[in-house]
C-alpha cells in the first residue's frame, strides 16, 4: 500500500457558462475538481488550503473512515470549518471498499461547485470481478445555477421558502447543446468500436435524482456506491444525489455519434414542487465517424416515471462472495423505525415567511428537526466527554405516534407538522448491529428522499411503497445478496429497511442528500462508543484540526 498525496486549493474563479460570467468556488480552478485515484489499502492525504471567502470542509462521501472520524468532513459534526486563509490536512486509510466514490464540500451549498471523483482500484495484483475495461471514465452529473449558490441558499433560508431551482444540469461540468451558448460546452467521449469502457457515474447534483442514458447502447451495472453488484444489463441508469453507479459500456454500434443525456426523476406531482425540467447532454463519438450524420438522441423516461426508477433501483443485488463483500449481520441489537419528511417552522415575529402554512420550510426525522451546533463540533465534544452543552443522546427509536404515514391530511396534526428543533443523537454500543426501517411521510409533499449515512455501508434488505408492514414486509428481506450502499433513495410514499454494524467509534451524520432538506433538519446522527481496545478507540484529533 502506498501514500497518495494531493493539494486542494479552494478559491474563487470566474467561469463562462450559459452566456454569462459567473464567480464560483472551485478546487484547483477546475469544475469538477481533481479526480483522486487510490488503491484499496492506500492512505490518502489531502492538504486543503482555503483561499476562498467562505468557510469550507471537504467530505469523502462513502469512505468508511475507520478510526479516522476527524477526516470525515461534515461541518460542525466532525470538525469546525476551515476558515478563509487557513488549511487542514485530511488523512485516512482506504480499506474494505473498491469502486467509485466522490468528495464534496460539506458546508452550505458549496458542494454545487466543490466536488470531484474518488476512485478506488483493487490492490495491485488483484483484479475486478469482470473483464478489465479498455478505459475508465468518470461521469459526474451536476447542477448549475446562474447565480452564486450561497446567495441562492441564503435567500431561500431568509424567507423560509425553497431556494430557486437550478438553471442547468451538467455532465463533467458541461451543460451540453440543449442550453443557450453551450454548443461547444458539451462533454465528449471518444471511443473505439469494439472496445468496452467503464463509466463511473456520480450524481453530484444538489436536489435531483437523475435518469441517465446513452442512445442505442445498453450498459451493464457492476458496482454501486463502491460495492460490487451482480452484473445487471439495462439501457437506463437512475442515480440519486450521493450515489454512484459503475457501468460497463461496449462501443458495439455502427460507427457514428450518440448522445448521452440526463434529466431529473421527480417523485412529486408537478403542481407541488417546482423543478428544473431541462436536459443535459454529452456525446459519444466513435473513432472514424464523420460529422455527416446527426448524432442519435436517447429517449429518457418521463420525469415522473416512478415504476421505471423503482425497477432499476430494486433489480440491483450485491455480488455475494465477491471482493470486499460483507455478509449481512444475522443478529440485530438495535431496531429503529425512522420517519422523515417535510415539516413547518412557525414564522418568527417580525420575519418574512414565504414557506408553507405561512411559516418556514422545515424537515424532521422522527419528528425532531436536526440542528448542527455552531461553537464546536460534535466529534470534539464526544472525544472530550463534554457532550452535554452540544448534543443529547435521546434521539427516539420511533416517531412519537404511529399513524398512516402516506396520508397527507395528517399535516393537520400540529404536533407532527411543527417539529421541534433539537440536536439529538442515537447512541450505539461499539460493534452493535442496527436495523432501521426508513419510512417516508407525506406531510406537505410526498417525496423520495436519498438518505445517506456517514461512516458505514449498509445492506438494503427490502424496499417498497406504502406503510412498512412489520409482518408481511419482513418476509421480503434479502439476507443473501442484498445491495450494499451508503445512500438509499427511499421509494416515494414508501420505505426501505437497512442493516449495518456500528464498528466505527465517533459521530456519524445521517441525512437526506437533497440540499434543500439538509439545512432545514432532515438529519440525525449516531454516536458510536469506543470499543474495548486501543484499536477500537477514536485516536486524538490531528494538531491542525480547525478551531471554531
By the rule CB under 6 A, 517 interacts with ligand C2O: no
Q: Taking CB under 6 A as the criterion, which residues in 162-221 touch ligand C2O?
A: none
By the rule CB under 5 A, 514 interacts with Cu ion: yes
Q: Using CB distances below 5 to 8 A depending on partner kind, what does residue 256 bind out of Cu ion, ligand C2O, none? A: none
- In the complex with ligand C2O, which residue's Cβ is closer, 502 or 524? 524
- Distance, in Å, from the CA atom of 330 to the CA atom of 454, rounded to the nearest integer, reads 22
Query: Judged by CB under 6 A, which of 6, 39, 104, 360 binds ligand C2O?
Result: 104
Query: Judged by CB under 6 A, which of 6, 17, 39, 106 binds ligand C2O?
Result: 106
How many alpha carbons lie under 13 Å from residue 458 in its C-beta half-sphere? 25
DSSP 318: B
Q: Which residues pair with 63 in a beta bridge?
A: none
- Distance, in Å, from the CA atom of 457 to the CA atom of 499, rounded to the nearest integer, reads 9
Query: Judged by CB under 6 A, which of 206, 239, 316, 509 binds ligand C2O?
Result: 509
Q: Could you tell me the smallest distance in angstroms from the CB atom of residue 123 to ligand C2O?
A: 25
DSSP 328: P
- In the complex with ligand C2O, which residue's Cβ is closer, 360 or 511? 511
Report CA-CA distances (Å) from 378 to 15, 57, 370, 382, 537: 36, 15, 13, 6, 16
Q: Using CB distances below 5 to 8 A depending on partner kind, what does residue 514 bind out of Cu ion, ligand C2O, none? A: Cu ion
- Distance, in Å, from the CA atom of 56 to the CA atom of 48, rounded to the nearest integer, reads 9
By the rule CB under 6 A, 454 interacts with ligand C2O: yes
- In the complex with ligand C2O, which residue's Cβ is closer, 61 or 200? 61
Q: Using CB distances below 5 to 8 A depending on partner kind, what does residue 517 bind out of Cu ion, ligand C2O, none? A: Cu ion
Radius of gyration of the chain (CA): 22
Instruction: Find cell 464540500 and name the residue.
Output: 105
Give the total residue count for the chain. Answer: 548
Q: Taking CB under 5 A as the criterion, which residues in 427-456 touch Cu ion?
A: 449
Q: What angle do CA 151, 154, 160 make, to 5 degrees?
A: 145
Query: Judged by CB under 6 A, which of 69, 74, 129, 298 binds ligand C2O?
Result: 74
- Distance, in Å, from the CA atom of 101 to the CA atom of 115, rounded to the nearest integer, reads 11
Q: Look up residue 205 and give its three cell numbers.
A: 447534483
- In the complex with ligand C2O, which residue's Cβ is closer, 6 or 452? 452
Instruction: Find cell 469544475 and name the residue.
Output: 31
Q: Could you tell me the smallest distance in angstroms from the CB atom of residue 79 to ligand C2O?
A: 13
The enclosing H or E element of 312 equals helix 306-315
Q: Using CB distances below 5 to 8 A depending on partner kind, what does residue 512 bind out of Cu ion, ligand C2O, none? A: Cu ion
- Distance, in Å, from the CA atom of 47 to the CA atom of 523, rounded to the nearest integer, reads 28
The residue of the chain with the least Cβ separation from Cu ion equals 512
Q: What angle do CA 206, 421, 519 make, to 5 degrees?
A: 15
Q: Could you tell me the smallest distance in angstroms from the CB atom of residue 103 to ligand C2O?
A: 9
Q: Using CB distances below 5 to 8 A depending on partner kind, what does residue 74 bind out of ligand C2O, Cu ion, none? A: ligand C2O
* CA 19 to chain centroid: 29
Q: Could you tell me the smallest distance in angstroms from the CB atom of residue 206 to ligand C2O?
A: 11
Q: Could you tell me the smallest distance in angstroms from the CB atom of residue 523 to Cu ion?
A: 10
- In the complex with Cu ion, which residue's Cβ is closer, 284 or 342? 342
Query: Judged by CB under 6 A, which of 59, 263, 310, 360 binds ligand C2O?
Result: 59
- In the complex with Cu ion, which residue's Cβ is closer, 64 or 490? 490
Q: Could you tell me the smallest distance in angstroms from the CB atom of residue 63 to ligand C2O?
A: 10
Please name which of 129, 134, 96, 106 lies closest in space to residue 48, comparing C-alpha atoms.
106
- Distance, in Å, from the CA atom of 330 to the CA atom of 327, rounded to the nearest integer, reads 9
Q: Look up residue 105 and give its three cell numbers.
A: 464540500
Query: Judged by CB under 6 A, which of 6, 17, 39, 61 binds ligand C2O?
Result: 61
Q: Using CB distances below 5 to 8 A depending on partner kind, what does residue 452 bind out of Cu ion, ligand C2O, none? A: ligand C2O
Query: Judged by CB under 6 A, which of 39, 174, 281, 452 binds ligand C2O?
Result: 452
- Distance, in Å, from the CA atom of 51 to the CA atom of 85, rounded to the nearest integer, reads 5
Please name which of 143, 178, 180 lies closest in space to residue 18, comparing C-alpha atoms.
180
Q: Look up residue 195 and give its three cell numbers.
A: 472496445
Strand ranges inside 134-181, DSSP E? 135-144, 168-171
The residue of the chain with the least Cβ separation from ligand C2O equals 61
Q: Using CB distances below 5 to 8 A depending on partner kind, what does residue 449 bind out of Cu ion, ligand C2O, none? A: Cu ion
Please name which of 536, 539, 540 lies closest in space to residue 429, comparing C-alpha atoms.
536
Binding piece for ligand C2O, criterion CB under 6 A, among 17-25, 156-164, 489-497, 506-514: 506-514
By the rule CB under 5 A, 512 interacts with Cu ion: yes
Question: Which sign, positive or negative, has the C-alpha torsion 166, 170, 173, 174?
Answer: negative
Binding piece for Cu ion, criterion CB under 5 A, among 92-100, 263-271, 326-334, 513-521: 513-521
Q: Could you tell me the smallest distance in angstroms from the CB atom of residue 59 to ligand C2O?
A: 5
Q: Judged by CB under 6 A, how many residues of this single chain contact ligand C2O? A: 11
- In the complex with ligand C2O, which residue's Cβ is closer, 106 or 426? 106
Q: What angle do CA 411, 272, 408 make, to 5 degrees?
A: 25
- In the complex with Cu ion, which residue's Cβ is closer, 114 or 514? 514
Q: Which residues bind Cu ion (CB under 5 A)?
A: 449, 512, 514, 517
Q: Which residues bind ligand C2O (CB under 6 A)?
A: 59, 61, 74, 104, 106, 242, 452, 454, 509, 511, 513
Amino acid at each position: 500500500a502506498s501514500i497518495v498525496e494531493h493539494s486542494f486549493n479552494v478559491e474563487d474563479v470566474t467561469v463562462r457558462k450559459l452566456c454569462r460570467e459567473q464567480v464560483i468556488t472551485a478546487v484547483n480552478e477546475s469544475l469538477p475538481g481533481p479526480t483522486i485515484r487510490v488503491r484499496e489499502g492506500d492512505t490518502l492525504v489531502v492538504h486543503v488550503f482555503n483561499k476562498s471567502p467562505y468557510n469550507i470542509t471537504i467530505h469523502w462521501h462513502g469512505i468508511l473512515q475507520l478510526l479516522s472520524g476527524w477526516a470525515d468532513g461534515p461541518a460542525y459534526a466532525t470538525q469546525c470549518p476551515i476558515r478563509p486563509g487557513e488549511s487542514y490536512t485530511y488523512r485516512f486509510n482506504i480499506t474494505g471498499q473498491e469502486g467509485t466514490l466522490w468528495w464534496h464540500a460539506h458546508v452550505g451549498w458549496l458542494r454545487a461547485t466543490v466536488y470531484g471523483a474518488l476512485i478506488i482500484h483493487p490492490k495491485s495484483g488483484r483484479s475486478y470481478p469482470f473483464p478489465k475495461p479498455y478505459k475508465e471514465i468518470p461521469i459526474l452529473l451536476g447542477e448549475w445555477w446562474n447565480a452564486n449558490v450561497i446567495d441562492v441558499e441564503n435567500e431561500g433560508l431568509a424567507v423560509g421558502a425553497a431556494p430557486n431551482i437550478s438553471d442547468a444540469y451538467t455532465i463533467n461540468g458541461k451543460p451540453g447543446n440543449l442550453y443557450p451558448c453551450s454548443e461547444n460546452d458539451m462533454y465528449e467521449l471518444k471511443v473505439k468500436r469494439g472496445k468496452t469502457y467503464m463509466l463511473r457515474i456520480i450524481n453530484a447534483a444538489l436536489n435531483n435524482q437523475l435518469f441517465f442514458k446513452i442512445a442505442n447502447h445498453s450498459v451493464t451495472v457492476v458496482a454501486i456506491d463502491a460495492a460490487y453488484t451482480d452484473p445487471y444489463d439495462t439501457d437506463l441508469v437512475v442515480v440519486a444525489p450521493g450515489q454512484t453507479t459503475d457501468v460497463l459500456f461496449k462501443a458495439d454500434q455502427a460507427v457514428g455519434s450518440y448522445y448521452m443525456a440526463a434529466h431529473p426523476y421527480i417523485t412529486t406531482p408537478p403542481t407541488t414542487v417546482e423543478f428544473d425540467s431541462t436536459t443535459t447532454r454529452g456525446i459519444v463519438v466513435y473513432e472514424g465517424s464523420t460529422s455527416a450524420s446527426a448524432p442519435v438522441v436517447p429517449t429518457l423516461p418521463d420525469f415522473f416515471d416512478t415504476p421505471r426508477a423503482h425497477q432499476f433501483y430494486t433489480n440491483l443485488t450485491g455480488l455475494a462472495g465477491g471482493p470486499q463483500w460483507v455478509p449481512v449481520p444475522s443478529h440485530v441489537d438495535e431496531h429503529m423505525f425512522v420517519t422523515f419528511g417535510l415539516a413547518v417552522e412557525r414564522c418568527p415575529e417580525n420575519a418574512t415567511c414565504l414557506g408553507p402554512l405561512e411559516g418556514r420550510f422545515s424537515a424532521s426525522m422522527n419528528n425532531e428537526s436536526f440542528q448542527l451546533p455552531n461553537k464546536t463540533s460534535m466529534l470534539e465534544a464526544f472525544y472530550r466527554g463534554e457532550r452535554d452543552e452540544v448534543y443529547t443522546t435521546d434521539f427516539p427509536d420511533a416517531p412519537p405516534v404511529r399513524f398512516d404515514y402516506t396520508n397527507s391530511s395528517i399535516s393537520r396534526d400540529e404536533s407532527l407538522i411543527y417539529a421541534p428543533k433539537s440536536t439529538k443523537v442515537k447512541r450505539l454500543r461499539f460493534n452493535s448491529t442496527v436495523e432501521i426501517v426508513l419510512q417516508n411521510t407525506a406531510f406537505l409533499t410526498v417525496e423520495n428522499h436519498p438518505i445517506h449515512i456517514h461512516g458505514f455501508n449498509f445492506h438494503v434488505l427490502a424496499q417498497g411503497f406504502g406503510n412498512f408492514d412489520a409482518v408481511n414486509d419482513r418476509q421480503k428481506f434479502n439476507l443473501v445478496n442484498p445491495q450494499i450502499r451508503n445512500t438509499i433513495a427511499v421509494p416515494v410514499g414508501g420505505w426501505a429497511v437497512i442493516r449495518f454494524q456500528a464498528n466505527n467509534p465517533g459521530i456519524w451524520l445521517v441525512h437526506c442528500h437533497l440540499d434543500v432538506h439538509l439545512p432545514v433538519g432532515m438529519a440525525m446522527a449516531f454516536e458510536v462508543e469506543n470499543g474495548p481496545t486501543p484499536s477500537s478507540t477514536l485516536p486524538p484529533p490531528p494538531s491542525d484540526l480547525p478551531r471554531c
